Structure 1
Amino acid sequence: MDEANSRKPNVLVLGIGNILWADEGFGVRAVEAFHQAYAVPTNVTVLDGGTQGLYLVQYVTEADHLIVFDAVDFGLAPGTLKIVENDDVPKFTGAKKMSLHQTGFQEVLSAADLLDRYPARLALIGCQPVDLDSWGGPVTEPVKSVIPAAVMVAAGILERWGVAISSRRTAAPALLANDIDFAHYERRADRAN
């Protein structure tokens, strides 16, 4: 077997969103929870993509498989998780806008497609937000309560893709610096209210 066929696929587990706008932070908080829960092999990257938009092209084009956590307005009950895979994930900016920053991420996917380096497998774990308008507000309870389920969905997808992850036995290093991790940020938001 040649080296190209024997190498493990590059996998990216990505959270996108803006923690400053309440439930818009779902993707970042979900990827942070995933990072705290699971140790991953060296071919898997766990990344807080925040609102980086086109700066994520490099990461996406390097990924053979991609999981994205995001707050998505599907018009469902608040806190509902919806999983969208492969060609069903909108790629172009002309598609229906489903979140505040999705146009930027659609452009990332479009750029990867134009570069002929689109991930072979793609899964979007979307959560129906309650509040996208509260500047500095915490993630709402219906959204916060489904983060563990979203993490389990991601773990199941990785298992289906043949990626071996394991539960962490010790605390993970912080994914987010400068006290903007979930525990510190939420504590500050609660004190402000």
Structure 2
Amino acid sequence: MGQAGHILVLGIGNLLWADEGFGVRAVEYLQRSYRFPEEVTVLDGGTQGLNLVGPVREADVLVVLDAVDFGSAPGTLHRVRDEEVPQFLGAKKMSLHQTGFQEVLATAELLGDPPGSMLLVGVQPEVLEDYGGSLTDTVAAQLEPAVVEAVEYLRAFGVEPLPRSAEPEEEAGKPAAALARSAYEEGRPGPEEACRFGDARFLPLTGGPNGAAE
């Protein structure tokens, strides 16, 4: 494909809803594994929606990592290219962030500054309703393969990332990131202490006319 201008690698999703956080964890894995030249920006887009229009308009090449409902088996990794990317981000949305990002791409197109090349690396989630939960093992196993797909795509544009010999915070002389996956998982209580699907202690034992216990 040759040389590109500015390249944006973007992870989107919500860390608080289990496999919904895949895209954010994938760019974290990417950032902790490689150093990139200055023309490449690796960004945790979270659930920022239309706030991402600016960075997307500045990108000549866009790589998106996300959890997407492709209707396939949990943990299946998919690669989607160019004009097909908005279709998959909006056709079977799992949360508002996907509708928002489809609008980001449409807005960039309307303003005349869409990325010239796009790649979506998406994984089929297994669990989404576990509030406060981390990635399932099935989906977490696809972090490295997703990063490999992204890196191979970047190499086609002349980008050669360099493996890191230390954590980014260590290289910069800063404390470890509080939202890193290891810190997040070690610091939260297990479901036996903090139920994330609805705590029976706060639910009525029998349903009266107003939902109160009788």
Please report the TM-score for the alignment, with normalisation by the length of structure 1: 0.89
Shift of 1:178: 6.1
Paired letter, 2:131 = W
Moved over 6 A (4+): none
In 2, the alpha carbon distance for the partners of 1:158 and 1:178 equals 26
In 1, the alpha carbon distance for the partners of 2:88 and 2:73 equals 26
Deviations along 1:138-193, one digit per CA (max 9) or x if unpaired, are: 1100000110111111110101122121111222138xx8611111112124x323
- Further displaced range: 122-131 or 165-174: 165-174
Paired letter, 1:29 = R
Change beyond 3 A, Cα 1:90–1:8:
closer
Structure 2: tracts of 5 or more residues without a match: 171-175, 192-214
Shift of 1:127: 0.5
Q: Number of aligned pairs?
A: 183
Corresponding residue to 2:94 among 84, 99, 104: 99
Give the match for residue 179 of structure 1.
Answer: 178
Structure 1: tracts of 5 or more residues without a match: 1-6
Change beyond 3 A, Cα 1:35–1:78:
same
Corresponding residue to 1:123 among 81, 106, 119: 119
Cα pair 1:10 1:63 within 8 Å, conserved: yes
SS in 2 for 1:88: helix
Give the match for residue 201 of structure 2.
Answer: none
In 1, the alpha carbon distance for the partners of 2:27 and 2:57 equals 19
Corresponding residue to 2:190 among 167, 189, 192: 192
In 2, the alpha carbon distance for the partners of 1:72 and 1:16 equals 10
Give the match for residue 159 of structure 1.
Answer: 155
In 1, the alpha carbon distance for the partners of 2:91 and 2:167 equals 40
Q: Tell me if 1:38 matches 2:27.
A: no
Greater RCO, 1 or 2 (C-alpha within 8 Å, sep 6+)? 1
Aligned sequence identity (%): 49
In 1, the alpha carbon distance for the partners of 2:11 and 2:179 equals 14
RMSD over aligned CA atoms reads 1.9
Cα pair 2:169 2:177 within 8 Å, conserved: no
